[in-house]
Chains A and B, each alone.
Chain A
Amino acid sequence: MRDVSRNIHAEFRGVLGRFTLDASFTVPATGITGLFGPSGCGKSTVLRCIAGLQQLPGSTFSIDGDVWQDGPLFRRPHQRPIGYVFQEASLFAHLSVQANLLYGAPRDAAHARSSIEFDEVVELLGLAALLERSPRHLSGGERQRVAIGRALLSQPKLLLMDEPLSALDRLTKDEILPFLERLHARLSLPVIYVSHDMAEIERLADHLVLMRAGKVLAAGPLTTLQSDPSLPLAASRDAAVNFEGTVESYDPSYSLLTLRIDGGRLLVPSPPAASGERRRLRIAAGDVSLAREHPHNTSILNVLPARIVSRTALGASEILVVLALGEDGAGAKLLARVTRRSWDHLQLAEGLDVIAQVKGVALAPGRNAGMHASSPGLRGR
């Protein structure tokens, strides 16, 4: 048994129509946990079970040692300290934006100085101009922002988000993602975020629960699961790994940021950023090539020593290589996709020290960047 005191522990089992759910996972009760899988794999059902909107007998759920369901014990939805953001904003049509925001806010004086304050939420989500409006006169993105604010103001201990962006178009998504990133940075609220869009997970999640056909394939830190060749993520066409990088310096003459990651340093084109700032990076497997020796004349900025950890065949012609950064191979994991021909030609092998050439690093927009700037999302090479 693992220590459940600082964890979210879930076990949901049951038959729903023709669908069998058998999902159990334990993740830390901090940060954003992505619940990822193809449509219809049971992600939303798991979320509904966590909220108590669906009751599967014989299931268990606890957070921070606080048991919400176990055996005969079942706390009803309104007795669980959750916030729930549905796919459609589902605002109350008969109430103004302000009344929607305050619907779940505690009224008693004890909560008057609550941890998540009204003004803070309004500022965080850019709602000031909308307060007096009716939900009917809001755009899709505005509605979803109000729904997020409404959930936050009910002072939840756990925020549940069920594909909050999937009903929105690309532009509106890019408008809301920075808000979620800000939320992540500013509030220490555990979030379970359901999505079938890996791009959203890569930008937001710290931990990941991978689901398929009602079962949990794996649960753990995002980067660990991304770089596990036995899981479908690493084998997919757009396989990538994420890193947390710390800004070391900024070179204004070339507009280049130097970031330290576990096992190396990266140079990334970027607007200025203060040193010490934490940024999320993404490196796609297809953007990493391998060399036996340090190239002397190359346009590629990021050339990092690494050690080959494992190889997995991808079809007949390609190989997925898992690398560990650093001279000693003790750093962060990186994925590279190379052709089988190159693998043989360079006489690569597991355990071998190589040079990883990174052609592109995507940098998530800074968490302190302007909220209303038209954000291009993850910035390309």
Chain B
Amino acid sequence: MGGISNEIWQPIRLTIELAALTTAILLIVGTPIAWWLARSKASWKEAVAAVVALPLVLPPTVLGFYLLVVLGPDGPGGALAGLWGGRTLAFTFEGLVFGSVIYSMPFVVQPIRNAFDAIGDRPLEVAATLRASPTRAFWTVAIPLARPGFLAGAVLGFAHTVGEFGIVLMIGGNIPGKTKVLSVAIFDFVETSQWREANILAAGMAAFAFVVILTMMLLEKRTARINR
């Protein structure tokens, strides 16, 4: 292991921390959004769905620019940072988490919404006729039946957070131990001609991506079988 320096381990640790925290927050925040999108009969819900999906098509620099405005000293993020004596949320780990939650949101919300959609009304109606309150039906029927959607959302959200580059560069910069995540580190190594280090990280990412895609495909197969 002697050959792999702290220079490599630090961004890996930081990336995993960022992705895990982001995924956890997204599962908590994204589930009610996905539930509302799947169950609401409001005519404007697709507009909300479109806003959630925006990061899929926006150039990362556009999103990064707006996040910078929001997180910066003159935005709400700056005011928030003022509470604990900071000046800005930009170029901090917290800011990076906030940005990641925004840009990974569609990758978590969409699979969960699809899973809720696939369940349909019937199991919830059945639960209601068995005296289950809407809350109990949600926890004991909707959530367990949507499990493949939650797994897919978690895996995709995690993977997408690990892989993002453009937005990180815009709002996080390149501060070792605080905002220097894997994708930025690889860029850095290449810039400074550290090909060996870049190679290790890039190969690791490729392997990781392969595992993610494979997991997703297996999950999808499972979902199809459950909803048969």
Residues in chain A within 8 A of chain B (CB atoms): 51-53, 76-78, 81-84, 86, 88, 90, 92-94, 103-104, 106, 150-151, 154, 160
Q: Flag B132-143 by CB within 8 Å of A: 1 or 0 each.
A: 111001001100
Tell me if B122 counts as interface (CB < 8 A to partner A): yes
How many chain B residues have a CB neighbour from A under 8 Å? 19
Which of B131, B132, B137, B226 contacts A93, CB < 8 Å? B226
Residue of B nearest to A104 (CB): B130
Residues of A within 8 Å of B126, CB to CB, are: 84, 86, 90, 92
- Distance in angstroms from A236 CB to nearest chain B CB is 33
Interface hits, B110-160 → A, CB 8 Å: 122-123, 125-134, 137, 140-141, 144-145, 147
Residue of A nearest to B145 (CB): A94
B125 and A94 form a contact (CB under 8 A): no
Bound: A51/B126 CA distance, A = 11
Residues of B within 8 Å of A81, CB to CB, are: 131
Q: A86-B126, A90-B122, A92-B123 are in contact. Are A78 and B132 (CB under 8 A)?
A: yes
Residues of A within 8 Å of B128, CB to CB, are: 52-53, 76-78
- Distance in angstroms from B63 CB to nearest chain A CB is 37
- Distance in angstroms from A78 CB to nearest chain B CB is 5
Which of B129, B147, B226 contacts A77, CB < 8 Å? B129
B144 and A86 form a contact (CB under 8 A): no
| Complex A-B: 6 CB contacts under 8 Å | A76-B128, A78-B129, A78-B133, A94-B147, A103-B127, A154-B130
Residue of A nearest to B225 (CB): A136
Residues of B within 8 Å of A83, CB to CB, are: 129
Of listed B129, B131, B226, residue having the most chain A CB within 10 A: B129
Bound: A160/B126 CA distance, A = 12
Residues of B within 8 Å of A150, CB to CB, are: 130
Which of B131, B133, B147, B226 contacts A154, CB < 8 Å? B131
A103 and B132 form a contact (CB under 8 A): yes
Bound: A78/B127 CA distance, A = 8
- Distance in angstroms from B41 CB to nearest chain A CB is 13
B145 and A82 form a contact (CB under 8 A): no
The 8 closest A-B pairs by CB, nearest first: A104-B130, A84-B129, A77-B128, A94-B144, A78-B128, A154-B130, A90-B126, A90-B122
Bound: A284/B61 CA distance, A = 80
Bound: A88/B121 CA distance, A = 13
A92 and B141 form a contact (CB under 8 A): yes
Q: A104-B132, A154-B130, A154-B131 are in contact. Are A77 and B145 (CB under 8 A)?
A: no
Residues of B within 8 Å of A76, CB to CB, are: 128
Residues of B within 8 Å of A151, CB to CB, are: 129-130
Residues of B within 8 Å of A106, CB to CB, are: 131
- Distance in angstroms from B122 CB to nearest chain A CB is 5
- Distance in angstroms from A80 CB to nearest chain B CB is 8
Interface hits, B151-187 → A, CB 8 Å: none
- Distance in angstroms from B95 CB to nearest chain A CB is 39
Which of B129, B144, B145 contacts A53, CB < 8 Å? B129
Bound: A76/B125 CA distance, A = 11
Residue of B nearest to A103 (CB): B130
Residues of A within 8 Å of B140, CB to CB, are: 103
Residue of B nearest to A150 (CB): B130
Bound: A160/B130 CA distance, A = 12
Bound: A301/B159 CA distance, A = 82
Bound: A51/B125 CA distance, A = 10
Which of B129, B141, B147, B226 contacts A82, CB < 8 Å? B129
Q: A93-B145, A93-B226 are in contact. Are A104 and B123 (CB under 8 A)?
A: no
Residue of A nearest to B147 (CB): A94
Residue of A nearest to B126 (CB): A90
Bound: A81/B123 CA distance, A = 18
Bound: A302/B125 CA distance, A = 50
Bound: A151/B128 CA distance, A = 11
Bound: A106/B131 CA distance, A = 9
Residues of B within 8 Å of A93, CB to CB, are: 145, 226
Residues of B within 8 Å of A154, CB to CB, are: 129-131
Known: A77-B125, A78-B129, A151-B130. 14 other contacts (CB 8 A): A51-B129, A78-B130, A84-B129, A86-B122, A86-B126, A88-B122, A92-B141, A92-B145, A93-B226, A94-B144, A94-B147, A103-B130, A103-B140, A151-B129
Residues of A within 8 Å of B131, CB to CB, are: 78, 81, 104, 106, 154
- Distance in angstroms from B123 CB to nearest chain A CB is 6
